[in-house]
Amino acid sequence: MTVDEIYLLIAQNIANSIQSEDWNKATLNIQGDDTYVDTTGEYLDSNNVAQSLDVHNFDADVDFAIMELHEITTEGGNNKWNKAIFTLTPDGDFDMEFIWDQELQNEINRLANE
């Protein structure tokens, strides 16, 4: 998959999981790397009240696509990230913010060595 195809897959799954016709913004919070993914999310309804996104109903391909995105975007040791925030608006505009959380990485490393 290309990066654009991955972004489209994420956006489609977010939009399909929103339980309202009128909403203002949706956010998918991602933790992961090339080997695992954990996601949570929410959207703001028409009254700007946060509602949970049911990420358990996402296509199974989404987790694998996010792992592939991580592999593509960190190739060559550049652009390290272990968290990301995908924000989607009803008109289809989106933003992807990549974040490096050293404390999270320390915890992952500690658990991997137990």
List, for residues 44-61, the tens digit of each pLDDT value: 999 999 999 999 999 989
Q: By the 8 A CB rule, do 96 and 86 touch?
A: yes
Per-residue pLDDT band for 78 (boundaries 50, 70, 90) equals confident
Structural domains in the chain, sorted by start: 3-112 (3.30.500.20)
Q: List pLDDT tens digits, range 95-114.
A: 999 999 999 889 888 888 88
**The pLDDT value given to residue 20:** 82
Q: List pLDDT tens digits, range 13-41.
A: 999 999 888 999 999 999 988 788 999 99
Neighbours of 101 (CB within 10 A): 13
**The pLDDT value given to residue 23:** 95
Query: What torsion do the CA atoms of 80, 85, 89, 94 make, to the nearest 10 degrees?
Result: 0
SS (H, E, C) 24-47: EEEEEEEEECCCCEEEEEEEEECC
**The pLDDT value given to residue 111:** 84
Neighbours of 67 (CB within 10 A): 17
The whole model's pTM is what?
A: 0.90
Q: Which two tokens stand for residue 34?
A: 């090339």
Vertex 14, ends 8 and 83: CA angle to 5°?
A: 80
